[in-house]
Structure 1
Amino acid sequence: MYSRHIRSVVPTTAEPGVFTNVCINLSNTICIRTASLNYQWCGWCVNEGYLEAHYAQRASAMAPLPEDDGLKPGDQQAWTSEQRYALTRHVDERARDAVEAYTTLPEDTDLLDKQRGRYAALKAARDRALVFILAYTAVRVGELLRDPNDPRRRGVRWEDLSLDDGSMDVYRKKQQWDAASLPDPVISPLRSYRQLMDLPTERWPVFPTFDQRTLAGLVQDELEERGERPEAITERREEYARDLLLALDEDIRPPSITTDGARSILQRLSETAEIDIDHPKHDYLAPHGGRRGMGEVLVRAFRYTVAARYLDNSEEMVRERYSHIEAGELGDVATEALEEIDSLTELD
């Protein structure tokens, strides 16, 4: 009986994303027994050859659900125009200052000091590019950066970006690759950052980790695998102010930062930018707030259909999550109607 019901909802030839959508639709009423039956049914389909993989065993399916924080749609953090401007201006100034300090060093500057200047410029340029993408693209941070629990989410690479076309290929929440838009404000920070990186290959992550412990272990292990002696590795590393610069020269590709790493970066930048933040859950500009902020801009300017396309969401979902905007607009309409009626009454 149960398998006949599921077959009527999801054909055995369905793509993985279909299962995600069905689960979302059932999420309000599903119980433990139903979830167990769903899991067992996926296993049966694999055994019978209907499915190539057990989709219910994937990391994205087994990840914990977000906690209910009790916040209504309009209470979720969304970067305001003032906050967006303050943060992007702050990181832009930091990056410009760091790049200028590096590129204007005297020719006789010590090599290690030059490397320190380049490293500082790279870090500031990376942070600027990250903030601009979160502020203007509305891409989910989980689609942009690495998820340690899901090998498919390895973080965007430079080969995934087309700055000339203004697009970026990302692995969407619906578990398929899709193109996201890169609006004009994002292009210049990315171009400047890429030029400064002087990449050995396009397969490098756009947002590599700068964690020294991670990079030290990575460089050590990779050079050992290439046959370098321990003494030679030590001497090689001592030639560089930071292991990241050695990794660039030797094409030792580091991992992308994680979503937790992005939160730490934004916490640091929100503090140094001295941005006024009044929110019950976050005392900094959180990554998802950039997406929601762009959603508010798009809904107010172009309404729900256009916003849904840009946000990679259904129009129904966008209407639900931004219902406070329509409610406020309807309140304005009601106020205007009352004022008009009252003025007519006074004339009578």
Structure 2
Amino acid sequence: MAERPLSTRLEETFERYLQDKGKGRGGDGGNYRRNAARELERFADWAGGRRGPEHWTGIAPDDVDRPPAFGDLDERVFREYARHLAGDRGLKQNTVQTYYRYISAWCGWCVNEGYLEAHYAQRASATAPLPEDDGRKPGDQQAWTSEQRHAITRYVDERARKAIEGYTTLPAETDAFDKQRARYEALKAARDRSLVFVLAYTAVRVGELLRDPNDPRRRGVRWEEISLEDGSMDVYRKKQQWDAASLPDPVLSPLRSYRTLMDPPTDRWPVFPTFGQQTLATHVRDELADRGLQTDAIDERRDDYARDLLLALEKDIRPPSLTTDGARRILQRLSDAAEIDVDHPKHDYLAPHGGRRGMGEVLVRAFGYTVAARYLDNSEEMVRERYSHIEAGELGDVATEALDEIDSLRSRTT
């Protein structure tokens, strides 16, 4: 590929790079794109002298007044940026490695596109200031223990039972709005229970289950994608294709009860709709306006319901799914309410990915790496790497047994 002008500004390449790395139509979605965009912006600020230590003027020569360009880049620049990440921002060692990898990946892309003649970011002198990577991904090590899993599922189960019983046993003469409020609370408790059970027992990634605003293909699982009879659920996997995930027995009863209570107008409704008041209010207003209702008529219609979700159910106004961030907030609230003790450096609550990792622990110990890999939708190699502590413990037991056997033999021969 022909070489590009060295005068090209660094930031001119960012959008093209992010499109190549993004997901969905036009490369506009995906968590990688969002995270890479953030780090490229930080790198550009640093390179332009807008971020860094006092008196730092950036990578362009002091006698010119222009934004950083590719002619300013060499391995010394990346070495200084590695030093900046490692020392000036107080980041953990594995986080420094992660952030530097975003910049390094962009540098490699620039080589392929003809902007740079060499992958400066990967040269030994450039990476020398980086701290050693401990092999762990930041924040990705929490795993729900059996005790935590039982505590959170017991709590949400009891909470949902009380809410549903409170609604279904209301006296006939109960005020209509009080009935609506009771149904709303029962629906919310039933949704939260189903969400917790699915995260706790299916090992499905939360991004495969709920809506990701950064990836238009991940709009949240719908009822049409769940078969309670077969015990399966179709999800859009991390590998960018649809696949069936198992719904084990503990998950089926909460989902059946929840669906009966919700009675969705169509199977295209999200299994886990948002209950956010502002989001639902805006969504309902816009949909009713699209159906031809004027503002006064919309307000009157909404006044007939205690909550916009109930109006949406009645008029088949399909709401958006709960987001992955919304699920984290729910789990934080439920963990606090259930008074679950969580000892983790990043999360003081039961985070969604911890349910998946906890099930991985159970499966590896019970059935081995091959079966666990199939259930987790991962390669066996990756599962062995992530759960290597289990194999290490088992090998330790073997070593202890071997040492005991040797000691026994020696005692018999002396």
**Fold conserved (TM > 0.5)?**
yes
Q: Rg larger in 1 or in 2?
A: 2
1:306 to 350, 371, 374: 371
Looking at structure 1, the residues matched to 246 and 334 of structure 2 have their Cα atoms a distance apart, in angstroms, of: 25
Q: Which amino acid aligns with 1:327?
A: A
Q: Classify 1:77/1:299 alpha carbon distance in 2 versus 1 (closer, same or farther; 3 Å).
A: same
Looking at structure 2, the residues matched to 39 and 109 of structure 1 have their Cα atoms a distance apart, in angstroms, of: 60
Aligned to 2:328: 263
Q: Classify 1:274/1:163 alpha carbon distance in 2 versus 1 (closer, same or farther; 3 Å).
A: same
Q: Which amino acid aligns with 2:29?
A: A
Aligned to 1:62: 33
- CA deviations 1:76-98 (Å, max 9, x no partner) are 11001110000000000000000
Q: Matched residue of 2:35: which SS?
A: coil
Once the two structures are TM-superposed, the CA of residue 72 in structure 1 deviates from its matched residue by 5.4
- CA deviations 1:96-125 (Å, max 9, x no partner) are 000000000000000000000000000000
Q: Please state if 1:252 is matched with 2:317.
A: yes
Once the two structures are TM-superposed, the CA of residue 230 in structure 1 deviates from its matched residue by 1.8
Q: Point out where structure 2 has 5 or more consecutive residues left out of the alignment.
A: 3-9, 40-91, 96-132
* Aligned partners of 2:24 and 2:217 also within 8 Å: no
Looking at structure 2, the residues matched to 283 and 199 of structure 1 have their Cα atoms a distance apart, in angstroms, of: 35
Looking at structure 2, the residues matched to 81 and 142 of structure 1 have their Cα atoms a distance apart, in angstroms, of: 23
Q: Which amino acid aligns with 1:172?
A: R
2:280 to 211, 215, 227: 215
Correspondences of 1:68-217 after superposition (within 5 Å) = 68-69=94-95, 76-217=141-282
Looking at structure 1, the residues matched to 191 and 371 of structure 2 have their Cα atoms a distance apart, in angstroms, of: 30
> So what's the TM-score if we normalise by structure 2?
0.70
- CA deviations 1:215-261 (Å, max 9, x no partner) are 11111111111111222211111111100000000111110011100
Q: Matched residue of 2:378: which SS?
A: coil
* Aligned partners of 2:203 and 2:359 also within 8 Å: yes
- CA deviations 1:147-168 (Å, max 9, x no partner) are 1111110000001101101110
Q: Matched residue of 1:153: which SS?
A: coil
Identity of aligned residues (%): 75
Q: Matched residue of 1:218: which SS?
A: helix
More relative contact order, 1 or 2 (CA 8 Å, 6+ apart): 1
Q: Please state if 1:230 is matched with 2:295.
A: yes
Mean alpha-carbon deviation: is it higher for 329-338 or for 131-140?
Answer: 329-338
Aligned to 2:384: 319
Looking at structure 1, the residues matched to 28 and 282 of structure 2 have their Cα atoms a distance apart, in angstroms, of: 29
Aligned to 2:108: none
Q: Which amino acid aligns with 2:380?
A: E
* Aligned partners of 1:39 and 1:56 also within 8 Å: no
- CA deviations 1:23-69 (Å, max 9, x no partner) are xxxxxxxxx9xx99x969x79xxxxxxxxx99883523524269935
Q: Point out where structure 1 has 5 or more consecutive residues left out of the alignment.
A: 3-31, 44-52
* Aligned partners of 1:219 and 1:247 also within 8 Å: yes
Q: Classify 1:54/1:250 alpha carbon distance in 2 versus 1 (closer, same or farther; 3 Å).
A: closer
Aligned to 2:403: 338
Q: Classify 1:315/1:212 alpha carbon distance in 2 versus 1 (closer, same or farther; 3 Å).
A: same
Once the two structures are TM-superposed, the CA of residue 71 in structure 1 deviates from its matched residue by 6.5
Q: Classify 1:115/1:55 alpha carbon distance in 2 versus 1 (closer, same or farther; 3 Å).
A: closer
Once the two structures are TM-superposed, the CA of residue 343 in structure 1 deviates from its matched residue by 2.2
Which runs of 4 or more aligned residues in structure 1 lie more than 3 Å from their structure 2 counterparts after TM superposition? Answer: 53-56, 65-75
Looking at structure 2, the residues matched to 218 and 258 of structure 1 have their Cα atoms a distance apart, in angstroms, of: 15
1:239 to 304, 307, 313: 304
Looking at structure 2, the residues matched to 225 and 316 of structure 1 have their Cα atoms a distance apart, in angstroms, of: 51
Looking at structure 1, the residues matched to 261 and 357 of structure 2 have their Cα atoms a distance apart, in angstroms, of: 31
Once the two structures are TM-superposed, the CA of residue 276 in structure 1 deviates from its matched residue by 1.4
Q: Which amino acid aligns with 1:64?
A: N
> So what's the TM-score if we normalise by structure 1?
0.83
- CA deviations 1:273-318 (Å, max 9, x no partner) are 1111111111000000000000000000110110000000000000
* Aligned partners of 1:73 and 1:323 also within 8 Å: no
Q: Classify 1:155/1:54 alpha carbon distance in 2 versus 1 (closer, same or farther; 3 Å).
A: closer
Q: Matched residue of 1:222: which SS?
A: helix
How large is the RMSD of aligned CA atoms in angstroms?
2.6
Q: Classify 1:71/1:110 alpha carbon distance in 2 versus 1 (closer, same or farther; 3 Å).
A: farther
Question: How many residue pairs align between the two structures?
Answer: 307
Q: Matched residue of 1:168: which SS?
A: strand
Once the two structures are TM-superposed, the CA of residue 191 in structure 1 deviates from its matched residue by 0.5
